[in-house]
Amino acid sequence: MNDFLKLESVSMHFPIRKFGKRVRYVHAMDDVSFSLKKGEVLSLVGESGSGKTTTARVIARVYTSTSGDVFVNGKTINRKMSKNELKEYRHRVQMIFQDPFSSLNPTKRVGSILSRPFILYKSMHNSKEMRQAEKDVLELVGIAPPELYLDKFPHELSGGQRQRVGIAKAISVEPDLILADEPTSMLDVSIRLSIMNTLLKLKEERNLSYLYITHDLAGARYVSNRIVVMYAGMIMEIGSAEDLIQHPLHPYTQLLKKAAPSPETGFNKKKLGYVGEVPSLISPPKGCRFSPRCPFAMEKCSKDTPLLYKMEGRKVRCFLYEKQN
């Protein structure tokens, strides 16, 4: 299988300005490389502030990376694109957001929200045909009977239904790649699993690929084939979902595992609290970015930056695995 999406050493530094002058940079992504195959679900896991959303936005070309390259279907996206090319690209790569409330226009009815992508990307203007297409896509995401919901406003729906409308909006244009940015984290625990199942069903039916962003390792295990663990703007570990969770190699992945008891209960922030937080990315820690929190830190960990070492089908950015390479 060929790589559908490939990031090669991508960095994204946001300038911080004071009195209009650039003074410092937020190092939101540094040297990020990973790939995703067609039909694959790849989870990007890490605590808040790790650079996950920035990664999705670089892929969606909301931001142009500071350095490195992103390839989609073998073609770089870090080039000047005409308005039409950009429109076509954003058609193929769709985002699903964490907060379905803020991603749906509160003044528009569900039917009108869903009609926009059909008009924009499918040039569909026949109202009867469009109404049918809106109903079909609502049924696909598990909203039934659809005619009951087309005339409702987002605030008249439950959180889960709103997220389903968000998913419907994303898939309505038949994209190849979906960037799902914490799609269940604002929903009731009781409906998270059913939203994940809807996403998995759609993936099979439509041959989609997902970058599934979450801070919940157990949720990532449930939906994905492989997992990328990100911390403070850098990748710490990459591996198959099962291996990585059964035997986490990186001390940060081990910490995440401790904090994520099950897909139902999700992330346990309290358990993580006692070992600190993601550092400021304006001046990230020298050497290994995890060193201030790492129980295994050695002297060189705060001086040198470890590479991503290859370990039994895994990649791990940690000096503990340096000698075995």
Ligand X SMILES: Nc1ncnc2c1ncn2[C@@H]1O[C@H](COP(=O)(O)OP(=O)(O)O)[C@@H](O)[C@H]1O
Residue 251 interface partner, choices Mg ion, ligand SF4, ligand X, none, CB cut-off 5-8 Å depending on type: ligand SF4
Least distance CB 266 / ligand SF4 (angstroms): 24
Is residue 5 near ligand SF4 by the rule CB under 6 A? no
Is residue 260 near ligand SF4 by the rule CB under 6 A? no
Q: What is the DSSP string of 275-287?
A: T--PPPSSSPPSS
Residue 306 interface partner, choices ligand X, Mg ion, ligand SF4, none, CB cut-off 5-8 Å depending on type: ligand SF4
Pinpoint the alpha helices (H) of the chain: 52-59, 83-92, 100-103, 110-122, 127-140, 159-171, 189-206, 217-223, 241-246, 251-259, 269-273
Residue 14 interface partner, choices ligand SF4, Mg ion, ligand X, none, CB cut-off 5-8 Å depending on type: ligand X
Site string for ligand X, 261-300 (x = CB under 6 A): --------------------x-------------------
What does the alpha-carbon distance between residue 12 and residue 56 come to, in Å, rounded to a whole number?
11
Tokens standing for residue 68: 């490195």
Q: Which is nearer to ligand SF4, 34 or 231 (CB)?
A: 231
Report the half-sphere exposure of 269 (CA within 13 A, side-chain side).
6
Q: Using CB under 5 A, which of 11, 43, 53, 163 touches Mg ion? A: 53
Is residue 50 near ligand X by the rule CB under 6 A? yes
Instruction: Give the rounded distance of the alpha carbon of 39 from its chain centre.
Output: 16
The answer to whether the beta carbons of residues 187 and 160 sit under 8 Å apart is yes
Q: Using CB under 6 A, which of 5, 34, 52, 195 touches ligand X? A: 52
Site string for ligand SF4, 264-293 (x = CB under 6 A): ------------------------x-xx--
Is residue 251 near ligand SF4 by the rule CB under 6 A? yes
Instruction: Give the rounded distance of the alpha carbon of 286 from its chain centre.
Output: 26
Considering only residues 70 to 129 of the shown chain, the ones binding ligand SF4 according to CB under 6 A are none
The answer to whether the beta carbons of residues 188 and 5 sit under 8 Å apart is no
